[in-house]
């Protein structure tokens, strides 16, 4: 089962390494956190960094070839259909006024990184683990009203930022929900056929 935290940390780490190769600094360029705490106080750890934060989770509706009945020994296992989700992520240049230009440069590096690496898979990001075959980051275009709404929701005033949709994270449990058994004619039945009735 994939972990949202783990997937985002892998992507954060790769983006941070890219920026460190361009302009090395003692601490991280990119942090997975929020600009403010729930009580409204400022997150000091996030100052003068690119803040990567998750602001929404939506369900991905795609055409699926999912088959609920899987053949097993002596019958068929019924499993729940997979859940495909998209993660909506903001990258915000949370730099003090005297470092504003540095924040613009940092956002430019974020844009450059995801332009070069829009897909993350087992070949270029094996740290994702075997449960994640591939995810894709697509830039989202928000108008000023939508940006203002997101910033307000995150408890901050406007910051230079870029928004991405991470597609397609799949949750698929192998746990069996029920079991069926073959019947004459090639169908399945919810209970074994009674030999005495044959």
Q: What is the mean pLDDT of residues 35-52?
A: 93
Query: Comparing 57 with 183, which gets the higher pLDDT?
Result: 57
Q: What is the mean pLDDT of residues 139-164?
A: 96
Q: What is the mean pLDDT of residues 125-136?
A: 93
Q: What is the mean pLDDT of residues 102-127?
A: 97
**Predicted TM-score of the model (pTM):** 0.80
- Sorting pLDDT into bands at 50, 70 and 90, what band is 1? low
Angle between helices 4-22 and 100-116 in degrees, nearest 10 = 110
Q: What is the mean pLDDT of residues 112-137?
A: 95
Alpha-carbon distance of 13 to 66, in angstroms, equals 33
The mean pLDDT value of the chain amounts to 85
3-state secondary structure of 117: coil
Task: State the sign of the Cα–Cα–Cα–Cα dihedral 185, 186, 189, 192.
Answer: positive
Domain boundaries, the chain: 4-181
What's the token pair of residue 16? 């941070």
pLDDT in tens, 62-96: 755 555 544 455 555 566 778 899 999 999 999 98
Residues whose CB falls within 8 Å of the CB of residue 31, separated by 6 or more in sequence, listed in order: 12, 45, 46, 49, 50, 51, 52
Which segments of 64-155 does DSSP mark as H helices, in order?
100-116, 144-153
What is the model's pLDDT at position 188? Answer: 47
What is the model's pLDDT at position 192? Answer: 44
151 phi, psi to nearest 5 deg: -60, -45
Q: What is the mean pLDDT of residues 134-163?
A: 96
């Amino acid at each position: 089962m994939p972990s949202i935290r783990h997937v985002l940390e892998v992507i954060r780490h790769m983006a941070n390494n890219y920026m460190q190769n361009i302009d090395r600094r003692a601490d991280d360029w990119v942090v997975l956190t929020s600009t403010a705490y729930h009580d409204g106080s400022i997150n000091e750890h996030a100052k003068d960094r690119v803040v990567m934060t998750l602001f929404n989770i939506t369900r991905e509706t795609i055409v699926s070839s999912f088959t609920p009945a899987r053949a097993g020994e002596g019958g068929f296992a019924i499993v729940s259909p997979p859940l495909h989700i998209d993660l909506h992520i903001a990258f915000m240049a949370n730099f003090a006024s005297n470092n504003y230009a540095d924040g613009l440069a940092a956002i430019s590096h974020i844009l450059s990184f995801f332009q070069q690496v829009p897909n993350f898979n087992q070949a270029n990001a094996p740290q994702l683990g075997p449960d994640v075959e591939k995810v894709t980051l697509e830039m989202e275009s928000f108008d000023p009203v939508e940006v203002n709404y997101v910033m307000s929701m995150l408890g901050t005033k406007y910051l230079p930022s870029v928004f991405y949709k991470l597609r397609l994270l799949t949750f698929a449990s192998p746990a069996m929900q029920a079991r069926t058994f073959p019947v004459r004619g090639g169908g399945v039945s919810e209970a074994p056929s009674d030999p005495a009735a044959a």
